[in-house]
Structure formats: C-alpha cells, structure tokens
C-alpha cells in the first residue's frame, strides 16, 4: 500500500515537473521573441491589440463614411501614380 502511494506521489511529482518545464519553456520563448523584436513589444501584446483593433477597422470601412473616404484615397493614389509615371517618361525623353 505504501509502495503504491509512493509511486503515485512520484508520478504526480514528475507530472508537476513536466508542467513546470513546459511553462518555463513557454516563458523563455516569449522572452526570446520579445528580445528578437526591434521595438521590444512582446508578440502576444501585438496580437491582443490586433484582435481589439480589427473589428473597429472593419466597421469603419463598412460604414458609408469609410467607403467614401476609401474611394477618395483610391482616386488620389491613382492620380499620384499617373503623375509619377508621366514624370518618369518625360525624364527618359
């Protein structure tokens, strides 16, 4: 009986140690990814912010105002690209 209890306790300790190892590795990976980023912002925080911001961006572009502003932006961009290509062609002549 004592032997079985000791085995169960040993198994529980091993399981706990394995869980701690996984948590330490996860923490180390997060720290490493934060160190690898130039801005120092942890990837998890960026993803959390993106999940917060994306629905707001989608709602804006689905609104009438957002669609109007997007169309205006596309026209400006098209004009800008057209002017840029005209300037490039005149330089070649």
Q: For the chain, how many residues are written?
A: 93
pLDDT-derived band at 89 (thresholds 50, 70, 90) equals low
Instruction: Name the 3-class secondary structure at 40.
Output: coil
Are residues 3 and 36 both part of a single domain?
yes
Say if residue 57 is in the same domain as residue 70: no
On whether both 44 and 23 belong to a single domain, the answer is: yes
Report pLDDT digits (tens) over 43-86: 999 999 999 999 999 999 999 999 999 999 999 999 998 887 77
pTM above 0.75, yes or no: no
Q: Are residues 34 and 77 in the same domain?
A: no
**CB-based contact 78:70 (threshold 8 Å):** no
Structurally, the chain folds into a number of domains equal to 2
C-alpha to C-alpha distance for 51 and 43, rounded to whole angstroms: 12
68 lies in the same domain as 41: no
Closest by Cα among 27, 57, 21 to 42: 27
């Amino acid at each position: 009986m004592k032997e079985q209890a000791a085995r169960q306790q040993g198994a529980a300790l091993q399981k706990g140690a394995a869980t701690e190892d996984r948590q330490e590795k996860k923490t180390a990976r997060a720290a490493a990814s934060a160190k690898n980023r130039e801005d120092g912002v942890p990837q998890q925080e960026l993803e959390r912010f993106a999940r917060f911001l994306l629905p707001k961006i989608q709602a804006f572009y689905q609104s009438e105002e957002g669609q109007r502003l997007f169309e205006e932006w596309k026209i400006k961009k098209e004009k800008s690209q057209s002017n840029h290509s005209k300037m490039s062609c005149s330089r070649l002549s």
